[in-house]
Amino acid sequence: MPGELERIAQIEDPYVLLRVATERLAEAQHEVTELARLRRRLIQDLHAQGLSYAQIAQAAGLSRGRIHQIRHTGPAPEGAFLGSGEVTIVTPLRPDPTRSDRSFVALDDLNTGKRLEDLARTFDLDVAADHVSVSGEIDLNRSGLLVICGPRMSEAMRLTYEKDPVLAWERDDVGWLLRDTRTGEGFRSGQESDPRRSYDIAYLGRLPRPDGLGSVMAIAGIHPEGSLGVVHLLTTDIATLWGQVGTERFSVVVGTEYDPDSHEPVRTELLTPLYRHDEMA
């Protein structure tokens, strides 16, 4: 905007000017990306309602060719399922058993985080990284958080999961499970079954931040294979998920069958309805 540009241009300190101009340019690039995503979604929605590209073009005062170009280029609308502008992928730090002053990210968590990062970048989202501390501390009052962490490793995340109105984490003598409180059904990992199965359970949901001013995307498998399965589901079927819940708060239990040797996901499925929390009041 001209006023903002003029204000920045009047900064006398060259180093401050360089920093502020760089920050504003990044913000502007995010705005351009999200406007392009919004524009493409609007055309898709109007076309889905039965309007032809020619009709949309005439009503919008654009050429049919331009409308067709917008429809097939630019960031896909379903990328908004993960966030807008910049997202931060959060993985837990674990204590180093050999040195008390060091911590590390487990290879399984690193792999899941990297695949989620790759997916976010395909939607033209900027990606940052952060960690849940060894003691479980994490600032959840930030926008664009995608947290790969269960209730066991973080008190902050445990309290966040407790805000889910229908799915609940439980632990008994066998191990962890996810329970659908609406039906009473519990879901356990195949690693705790007899006979043992190459199958894991995971949570996927968008939950309120502690300050109530936004949401946090939460991903957590009972074992690492479950979390990896969620990312596999997002990679293969994010458009369907976006179509059903958009950016609203929701939760679902995801089941993942994986290869017993490579531990790579083979098949994923939704084990509960895709619960929209705004419909459960």
145-171 residue pLDDT tens: 999 999 999 999 999 999 999 999 999
- pLDDT tens digits for range 171-182: 999 999 999 999
Q: Considering 59, 75, 91, which residue would you say is the last residue of a domain? A: 75
Same domain for 154 and 256?
A: yes
Range of the domain at 265: 136-279
Sign of dihedral through CA atoms 162, 167, 173, 175? negative
* Residue 37 domain-assigned (yes or no): yes
Rounded to 5 degrees, φ, ψ at 187 are: -125, 120
How many domains does the chain contain in total?
A: 2
260 and 156 both lie in a single domain: yes
Position 203 in a domain: yes
In a domain, 237, yes or no: yes
Task: Judge if the upstream peptide bond of residue 195 is cis by omega within 30 degrees of 0.
Answer: yes
Chain position carrying tokens 């900027």: 126
Answer positive or negative: Cα dihedral of 7, 10, 16, 17: positive
259 shares a domain with 145:
yes
Residue pLDDT, tens place only, 19-37: 888 888 888 777 877 787 7
Q: pLDDT at residue 105 above 80?
A: yes
The pLDDT value recorded for residue 2 is 63
Neighbours of 23 (CB within 10 A): 11
